[in-house]
Structure 1
Amino acid sequence: MKLLTVIGTRPEAIKMAPVLRALATCEAVSSRLCVTGQHRELLGQSLAVFDIAPDIDLRLMAPEQSLNGFFARAMIALGRVLAAEQPDRVVVQGDTVSALAGALAAFQRRIPVAHVEAGLRTFDTTNPWPEEGYRQTIDAIADQLLAPTAAAAANLHGAVRKSVLVTGNSGVDAVHWILGRLAHDRKLRLAADAAMPALPGDRPLLLATIHRRESFGEPLRQICAALARIAAGRAHIVLPVHPNPEVAGPVRAILANRAGITLVDPLPFPAMVRLIQRADLILTDSGGVQEDAATLGKPALVLRTVTDRPEAVAAGLARLAGTATDAVIAATEAELEQLRLRPLHSVDPNPFGDGRASERIVAALLGRPVPSFEVSGSQAPPVPIRLVG
């Protein structure tokens, strides 16, 4: 069996790395990796951490690239790759423009598509934008839907003539793998610590990440204003700055050289894991960071008006804070006070996975029977959670 995996961004690389490593040990499959280069440096950096090298690198990233321009280049390039590779199945992950291009290019050639992390939904195509539209389209195209949670699988209940399996999230596998490496590889641990900024020990440490396209403009400025006021009070904030100019410009203009705020370049995944471990509270609009925080037992405030990871909210691991300045400040103050009174410890079981998602995904890709991931004692799958008012 010949599989071709198509990825383009850092989150895809991290979440597919455990799957690709597992596929590499299977004699029954020829596994090939094609990267679009949607995120050039961040993608390569993330794959290198997991000792993975792409078989095909399209190097499509261009300065000031538009979504449509990148998608058009990706479709043409991937069409050529598929004609040359002739895979039995194409595997894509998540909801990026690279994932959409990989799925649609395969569909145009009648090649079956497996979608890892299928079924995430807000049912609002403007939030997250454009990811909600992308993942709904990919799920319509794919015939094999590998959902990370029961809630995600429940969103696929109308799918016909499709294989749906709850696997757990492979991002949890990636965190577990990195934790193992950090525990046994002193060189990696020292490199990860060296990549982190100096951290104060006398104030609560907050890790913030912002990158969502639907927050460009006023919502992002509101978040930055909240972070400035929080840092002027009782906490220190570390913020890895996303390289997109629509993010980096406002973030640096509002937050650079502010007391209590440390702006850093995007961190390698091992350093990011170490920083989450050190942080008292996570403020993020990233789905992957929400999952990492839950895996590492850290509370998270979600800087969005709706979350497609309702499992964390239902488990008490996350709270929806929105993007308005006063709301973010109030939620942060409330969470810090709660942590002062009752520190949060890691939750078991993790609603996002048990570290064996890649095993289930590989078994499903090879057509082998595999039991679904289940969270013991879980209630009915939660629905997307939104702020009201």
Structure 2
Amino acid sequence: MKIMVVMGTRPEVIKLAPVVAALRKQVDTIVCATGQHREMLAQALDFFGIVPDVSVETMSPGSSLNILSARLLTEMDEVFSRVRPDWVVVQGDTTTAFCAGLAAFHRGIRVAHVEAGLRTGDLQNPFPEEANRSLLGRIVSRHFAPTQLARQNLLREGIDDSKIMVTGNTVVDAIMMARDSWQRASQSLVLPAGGEAGRETILVTCHRRENFGDTLLGICHVLRTLCSRYGQYQWVFPVHLNPAVREPVMQELGNIRNLALIEPVDYPSSLYLISRSALVISDSGGIQEEAPTFGVPVVVMRSHTERREGVDAGFSTLAGQRPESIEAAVIDWLDDPERRRALRNRPNPYGDGRASERMVASLLDHAVEAFNG
């Protein structure tokens, strides 16, 4: 059996690295990198020691989603014609995942979808991710749902239960793979002048399209207020490379004494920052899944989340995008240390570190016990 794993962004590498490692122990495994996010992709590949067997160049500055999609479909069609895998494995909700899945479907190749079944029910939020994963749900042959809630979403859409395997999320597997490295990351993490690595941290990240423009300006204004109110914390904001994020953040949040605006960090440094944080404020999906491993709460700056498990388990607050709602959620967490301490020994609702093992067993048609999260 020949299985191809396709990845194009840093989150895909992080969540597929454990799958690649597990697959390579048992089957002929080909890794294809699309370069959707070239610089951050290379960083993650290097950390996990993955050298792509196939690389395609699909992204250029200023490309629209339609141009990117057309290039991905064209390039992946040629790759599948040449390599002829028995399975194609994609992850999540990126343009790479959807287009690779569609190109494989057109070629009659079976597709397995890692992290299947996440839904907000709003095609515009997040955009285009909700459409990507929903469309993938109609064409894949094996749905690796991370939780029972994701499985229920798929069943409501009429997906045959025999095609669904509840595995847990591979992000927990990845944290276990990276454990030694993230514990050493403090030695290489460099903050700008004025930043203090030894203080308890508030970590901020922001990158989603729905938060661009005036919404991001509102977020910046409330962050300035919060940095002043909670001056005892070292606030750290790794600023995304996208100019739509970078330019307003640098302009609005420069020169705040206890806020370090830093370059995007590598994976172990990201885990290190989460692990020593009192709180994370983010619009990231992956951080919502990672933070519970460290017992750290997350204020989610989104109107919807496809990751309700963290909210239901008490790890996350879905604050929305209005500055006053974000501010209130942050204050609720930071003014209640007992509430934060109560999370420390609570299990991660997203996985148990065996997701990749379950996926490989499923692809090989071996019996395996499902994750009950």
TM-score by length of 2: 0.94
CA contact (8 A) 1:145 1:162 kept: no
Aligned to 1:286: 284
In 2 relative to 1, CA 342–350 (structure 1 residues): closer, same or farther, beyond 3 Å?
closer
CA distance in 2, matches of 1:372, 1:107: 26
Aligned to 2:116: 118
CA contact (8 A) 2:182 2:271 kept: no
CA distance in 1, matches of 2:307, 2:340: 24
CA distance in 1, matches of 2:315, 2:339: 16
Aligned to 1:302: 300
Deviations 1:258-291 (A, max 9, x none): 2221111110101111111111100011110111
Percent identical residues: 44
> What letter is aligned with 1:225?
H
- Pick the aligned partner of 2:187 from 188, 193, 208: 193
> What letter is aligned with 1:53?
V
Deviations 1:129-165 (A, max 9, x none): 1100000001111010000000001101121385101
In 2 relative to 1, CA 353–341 (structure 1 residues): closer, same or farther, beyond 3 Å?
closer
Q: Is 1:226 equivalent to 2:222 in the alignment?
A: yes
CA distance in 2, matches of 1:161, 1:151: 13
Aligned to 1:210: 206
CA distance in 2, matches of 1:311, 1:288: 13
> What letter is aligned with 2:275?
Q
Q: Is 1:47 equivalent to 2:54 in the alignment?
A: no
Deviations 1:345-373 (A, max 9, x none): 43443210001111001111112111110
> What letter is aligned with 2:229?
G
> What letter is aligned with 2:2?
K
CA distance in 1, matches of 2:80, 2:166: 28
> What letter is aligned with 1:210?
C
Aligned to 1:109: 107
Deviations 1:296-345 (A, max 9, x none): 11011001111111100111111111111111111111110112676244
Q: Report the CA distance between 1:81 and its aligned residue.
A: 0.3
> What letter is aligned with 1:163?
K
- Pick the aligned partner of 1:361 from 359, 367, 373: 359
Secondary structure of residue in 2 paired with 1:307: coil
Deviations 1:164-191 (A, max 9, x none): 01000001110111114456xxxxx2x5
> What letter is aligned with 2:220?
C
**Corresponding pairs, count:** 366
Q: Report the CA distance between 1:195 and its aligned residue.
A: 2.3
CA contact (8 A) 1:10 1:42 kept: yes
Aligned to 1:381: none
CA contact (8 A) 1:192 1:268 kept: no
CA distance in 2, matches of 1:149, 1:342: 24
In 2 relative to 1, CA 182–242 (structure 1 residues): closer, same or farther, beyond 3 Å?
closer
TM-score by length of 1: 0.91
CA contact (8 A) 2:293 2:347 kept: no
Where does 1:127-206 land on structure 2 (aligned, <5 Å)? 127-157=125-155, 158-160=158-160, 163-182=163-182, 189=184, 192-197=186-191, 198-199=195-196, 205-206=201-202
Deviations 1:104-137 (A, max 9, x none): 0001111111000000001110111110000000
In 2 relative to 1, CA 200–32 (structure 1 residues): closer, same or farther, beyond 3 Å?
closer
CA distance in 2, matches of 1:261, 1:153: 40
> What letter is aligned with 1:8?
G
Aligned to 1:11: 11
CA distance in 2, matches of 1:268, 1:21: 20
CA distance in 1, matches of 2:339, 2:140: 47
> What letter is aligned with 2:17?
A
Aligned to 1:380: none
Aligned to 2:350: 352
CA contact (8 A) 1:37 1:43 kept: yes
Secondary structure of residue in 1 paired with 2:314: coil
In 2 relative to 1, CA 335–2 (structure 1 residues): closer, same or farther, beyond 3 Å?
same
CA contact (8 A) 2:201 2:273 kept: no
In the alignment, structure 2 segments of 5+ residues that lack a partner are none
More deviation in 35-44 or 331-340?
Answer: 331-340
- Structural RMSD (CA): 1.6
Aligned to 1:372: 370
CA distance in 2, matches of 1:306, 1:260: 30
CA contact (8 A) 2:218 2:322 kept: yes
CA distance in 2, matches of 1:152, 1:196: 38
Deviations 1:73-111 (A, max 9, x none): 111010000000011111100000000110000011111
Secondary structure of residue in 1 paired with 2:59: coil
In 2 relative to 1, CA 11–343 (structure 1 residues): closer, same or farther, beyond 3 Å?
same
CA distance in 2, matches of 1:181, 1:228: 32
Secondary structure of residue in 1 paired with 2:116: coil
Aligned to 1:384: none
In 2 relative to 1, CA 57–217 (structure 1 residues): closer, same or farther, beyond 3 Å?
same
More deviation in 119-128 or 258-267?
Answer: 258-267
Aligned to 2:249: 251
> What letter is aligned with 2:203?
L
In 2 relative to 1, CA 286–44 (structure 1 residues): closer, same or farther, beyond 3 Å?
same
